[in-house]
């Protein structure tokens, strides 16, 4: 049985190919999509996955939550360990635990072993570093092998997204495939044909995604309330790295290390008169940094439908709140849209095309649902047809269809 696995920074989808048809796996209850999250429950010594992991953390259950595991691939952190109650667990092992859970779900539902698997990969795991990029793929391959997957192949996520759509067209099209997920943005220009003999004209990508937008919301709206860039009693500014760790899904665990906690304790000792430093100390001591990132993520989602959002920050201090307007949010994320458009221009140039020669824009990945992101990209191609009706499953479907090859 062939499996397609879209192991995403934020969410994961898996499908199997049976009788040449794609069947998505129910990965959590009846849901065919699962947040890429693990919660190590200290109270019951158990592991929990997906939304259940998030819910347990938010409810105040004692334990450790990990998200954005994919972002660790190709970085120095992947070989490190994180404190887990009385043990230290390697990040590679944690990714393996998650993939093993997905494998169990597949075999339980279909009562059949996975004999081959196509795993999606971004155009670049690591920007501007071919060696690190290859290392990241090899790290993921070894982790998948260790949990029992066989005959492992990789395929670019943006190309996967186009496979099902390609089967529906009646004439040749030149398409720009835009795949912006939680951790990466990938762009491919392909000449599509219903006979499935596509020609890849150009690929590009950049390590910017939805989790980076969560980070910028946190740094601009929440971290100043905890002393970010504040001049303290020494006459110096607070250490930037503390706040960047606290605002990054894949780095937040580092803030709970003894080394970082010592820095924060010393900062509090020297600045007992500053409420912002007291707040920082409280959040880190209680290990509630993820709560702030969830608020950032929810704000991002709500601003897709509302012109403003009021954010409850009583976690930091009783009755504390702030309001963010979409116009301000759009300004925050210009770094992302500028990065996307730069790579799109590069991809069009490398394909040897002009923008008006692009017939179709195919949007996939949750970050393309942000109105400002979609508007900025589509504005470059005013005559192109826009396809965005299968945002979360098109990559997984394409990876599963690779089993026909």
Tell me the per-residue pLDDT of 341-387, one tens digit each, with 9 for 90 and over. 999 999 999 999 999 999 999 999 999 999 999 999 999 999 999 99
Dihedral pair phi/psi, residue 380, rounded to 5°: -75, -15
Same fold, 2-156+398-404 and 171-209+337-389: yes
> Which of 11, 92, 101 lies closest to 54 in space, CA to CA?
11
Q: Is the pLDDT of residue 16 over 80?
A: yes
Read off the tokens for 108. 């339980």
pLDDT above 70 coverage of the chain, percent? 99
- Note whether 146 and 183 are within 8 A (CB): no
Max CA-CA distance within the chain? Answer: 70
Is residue 203 within a helix (H) or strand (E), and if so which, with residue range?
strand 199-206
Q: Is the pLDDT of residue 236 over 80?
A: yes
The whole-number pLDDT of residue 83 equals 79
Question: pLDDT tens-digit profile of 250-263?
Answer: 899 888 888 999 99
The whole-number pLDDT of residue 85 equals 76
**Domain coordinates of the chain in residue numbers?**
2-156+398-404, 171-209+337-389, 211-332
Q: Is the pLDDT of residue 205 over 70?
A: yes
More confident residue, 384 or 287: 384
Report d(CA 78, CA 95) in Å as an integer: 10
The whole-number pLDDT of residue 15 equals 98
Is residue 84 within a helix (H) or strand (E), and if so which, with residue range?
strand 81-84
Q: Judge: domain 171-209+337-389, CATH 2.130.10.10.
A: no
Report d(CA 214, CA 324) in Å as an integer: 13
Read off the tokens for 373. 């992101």
Q: What is the CA radius of gyration of the chain?
A: 22
Read off the tokens for 179. 């795949």
| Cα atoms found within 13 Å of the Cα of residue 136, Cβ hemisphere only | 23
Alpha helices of 111-257 — where are they, by DSSP H? 130-146, 157-166, 210-217, 240-246
> Which of 106, 148, 113, 145 lies closest to 13 in space, CA to CA?
106
The whole-number pLDDT of residue 195 equals 65
- Note whether 32 and 13 are within 8 A (CB): yes
> Which of 10, 16, 85 lies closest to 50 in space, CA to CA?
10
Q: Is the pLDDT of residue 51 over 80?
A: yes
Entry pTM? 0.89
The whole-number pLDDT of residue 196 equals 62
Report d(CA 331, CA 353) in Å as an integer: 30
Q: What is the mean pLDDT of residues 177-197?
A: 88
Q: Is the pLDDT of residue 79 over 90?
A: no
- Note whether 88 and 74 are within 8 A (CB): no
Is residue 11 within a helix (H) or strand (E), and if so which, with residue range?
strand 11-18
Mean pLDDT across the chain: 94
pLDDT tier for residue 166 given thresholds of 50, 70 and 90? confident
Q: What is the mean pLDDT of residues 310-318?
A: 94
Q: Reduced to 3 states, what is the DSSP secondary structure of residue 61?
A: coil
The whole-number pLDDT of residue 80 equals 87
The whole-number pLDDT of residue 49 equals 98
Question: pLDDT tens-digit profile of 114-156?
Answer: 999 999 999 989 888 889 999 999 999 999 999 999 999 999 9
Q: Reduced to 3 states, what is the DSSP secondary structure of residue 31?
A: strand
Q: Is the pLDDT of residue 167 over 70?
A: yes
Which class does domain 2-156+398-404 fall in?
Answer: alpha beta
Q: Is the pLDDT of residue 81 over 90?
A: no
The whole-number pLDDT of residue 73 equals 95
The whole-number pLDDT of residue 197 equals 65
More confident residue, 45 or 85: 45
The whole-number pLDDT of residue 170 equals 82
> Which of 251, 270, 257 lies closest to 71 in space, CA to CA?
251
> Which of 314, 239, 315 lies closest to 277 in space, CA to CA?
239
């Amino acid at each position: 049985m062939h499996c397609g696995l879209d192991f995403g920074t934020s969410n994961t989808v898996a499908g199997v190919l049976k009788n040449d048809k794609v069947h998505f796996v129910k990965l959590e209850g009846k849901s065919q999509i699962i947040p890429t999250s693990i919660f190590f429950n200290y109270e019951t010594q158990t592991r929990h996955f997906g939304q259940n992991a998030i819910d347990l953390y938010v409810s105040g259950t004692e334990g450790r939550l990990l998200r954005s595991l994919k972002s660790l691939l190709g970085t120095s952190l992947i070989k490190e360990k994180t404190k887990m109650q009385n043990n230290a667990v390697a990040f590679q092992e944690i990714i393996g635990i998650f993939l093993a859970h997905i494998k169990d779900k597949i075999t339980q539902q279909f009562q059949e072993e996975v004999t081959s698997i196509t795993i999606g990969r971004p155009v670049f795991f690591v920007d501007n570093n071919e060696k690190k990029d290859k290392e990241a793929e090899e790290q993921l391959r070894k982790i998948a092998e260790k949990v029992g997957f066989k005959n492992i192949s990789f395929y670019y996520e943006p190309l996967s997204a186009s496979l099902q759509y390609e089967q529906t067209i009646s004439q040749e099209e030149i398409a720009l495939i835009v795949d912006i997920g939680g951790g990466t943005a990938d762009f491919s220009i392909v000449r599509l044909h219903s006979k499935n003999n596509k020609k890849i004209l150009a690929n590009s990508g950049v390590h910017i995604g939805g989790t980076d937008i969560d980070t910028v919301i946190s740094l601009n709206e929440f971290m100043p309330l905890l002393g970010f860039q504040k001049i303290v009693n020494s006459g110096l500014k607070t250490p930037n790295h503390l706040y960047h760790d606290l605002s990054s899904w894949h780095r937040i665990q580092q803030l709970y290390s003894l080394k970082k906690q010592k820095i924060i304790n010393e900062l509090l000792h020297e600045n007992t008169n500053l409420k912002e430093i007291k707040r920082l100390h409280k959040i880190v001591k209680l290990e509630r940094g993820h709560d702030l990132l969830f608020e950032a993520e929810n704000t991002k989602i709500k601003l897709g439908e509302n012109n403003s959002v009021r954010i409850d920050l009583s976690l930091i201090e009783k009755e504390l709140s702030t309001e963010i307007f979409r116009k301000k949010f759009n300004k925050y994320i210009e770094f992302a849209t500028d990065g996307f458009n730069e790579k799109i221009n590069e991809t069009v140039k490398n394909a040897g095309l002009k923008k008006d020669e692009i017939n179709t824009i195919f949007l996939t990945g949750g970050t393309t649902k942000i109105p400002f992101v979609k508007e900025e990209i589509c504005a470059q191609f005013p005559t192109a047809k826009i396809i965005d009706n299968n945002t979360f499953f098109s990559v997984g479907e394409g990876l599963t269809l690779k089993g026909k090859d």
